[in-house]
Amino acid sequence: MASTQRDSRPVAIVAGGSTGIGASVSRRLDQEGYRVVVVSSKSVDEGKAVVAELDGGWYMQADLGEPGAPAEVVARVETELGRLDAVVYAAGQTARIAHADIHAVTDEVWEGILRLNVLGPWHFVQAAEPLLRKSGNGNIVVVGALAGVDVGGSCIPYAVSKAAVHHMCKLLGGALGPNIRVNAVAPGFIETRWTRDWDEFRDQISARAPLRRTGRPEEVAELVVGLMRASYVTGQTIVADGGLSLVP
């Protein structure tokens, strides 16, 4: 981690902040004046590169699928930075399995996806809650997916995991107020390294969505920041899909 002299700034953890949507969120929160702690499990070089762009950014490697990892991250942030004001959970896992091919979905697929997509943010909430409450204006934003709102997605376990995390955010919004707000964003097709080879889906969505294009990570990052600013909003899932879900 790099040192910083601007200790009065609010602190945000971005889990999965090395690539894609998470990296855009990390950069955007830096612009908003946060000290950003970028956390990832595998994309270490990418995470360090993102941190190098930030003003006093920190990088931590952690296996976010391990139950104790969020608590270790939060404990180190408290020791080193003394506060925590926001957590954005943008980590995730999926697999490309046709929905009708139910026999290709093994327990291993289910367990890996649920561990990272549902239990990961849950453990972060548990670990971060005391510090976020102490901040007086704590924010949690989880990156869900359109697949958790509508029929679709790269596989059924992925869609189910996102539906679960959306509902979890709704329940937590009711449970953790007034000092902590919890919301989710549900992006549709976003141009990331996950989707770079999904040409067929890209063409279909660009043809059907009212905005006639796919989305960009920085557009989701703007929505995340908007929810963090929206002081009278909690327990909500906001869809960003270019209008695709409006099409019958």
From residue 168, alpha-carbon distances to 82, 97, 159, 171, 234 in Å are 28, 25, 14, 5, 12
CB 209 within 8 A of CB 242: yes
Angle between helices 44-53 and 20-31 (to 10 degrees): 20
Residue positions annotated with a catalytic role:
158
Secondary-structure class of domain 11-246 per CATH: alpha beta
pLDDT value, residue 197: 80
pLDDT value, residue 40: 96
* Domain residue ranges of the chain, discontinuous segments joined by +: 11-246
Q: Which residues, in sequence order, are CB contacts of 37 under 8 Å at separation 6+?
A: 11, 12, 13, 14, 17, 57, 58, 59, 60, 73, 77, 81
Per-residue buried b or exposed e for 44-79, using 16+ beta carbons within 10 Å of the residue's own CB: eebbbebbeebebbbbbbbebbbeebbeebbeebbe
pLDDT value, residue 4: 43
| Prediction pTM value | 0.93
Closest CA to 171 of 151, 180, 11: 180
Local mean pLDDT, 10-residue blocks, the chain (248 residues): 63 97 98 97 94 96 94 97 97 95 97 97 98 96 96 94 98 98 96 82 90 96 98 98 92
